[in-house]
Amino acid sequence: MKPANNHGLKRVFRATGFSIKGLKSAWQNEAAFRQEAILAIIMLPIALIVDVSTTERILMVMTLLIVLIVELLNSAIEAVVDRVGDEIHPLSGQAKDIASAAVFISLALCAITWAIVLIPLI
């Protein structure tokens, strides 16, 4: 149910609170998100320190963030599917598999981008 008088800065503050709540929930309940977040925390300083162009640096950071974004969406899809019911259903499995594939593609994109940027430096 939508709250009354939910516009302007009040809406922004409420939305920010919900976003923080979602990040906390993902950290507490999703091992994959924790692993990818820790990896991003480790890799972010590398992206900022390595001697590459600004464009390459932006691509390196963006691919890290894309992995986290896609993992959050994957977790949300899994939560909704699990909420709908406990019974095994082909469409439930399909939804989870497709969301998982999106995470895999984002990880591959990140790995390929980082390899393309860093291998020439070796």
**Active site amino acids:** 71
Dist. CA 99–CA 93, nearest whole Å? 10
Is the Cα torsion angle 30, 32, 35, 36 positive or negative in sign?
Answer: negative
DSSP string, 43-54: HHHHHHHS---H
| 37: Cα within 13 Å, side-chain hemisphere | 13
Q: Which residue from 50, 56, 39 is spatially nearest to 107, judged by alpha carbons?
A: 39
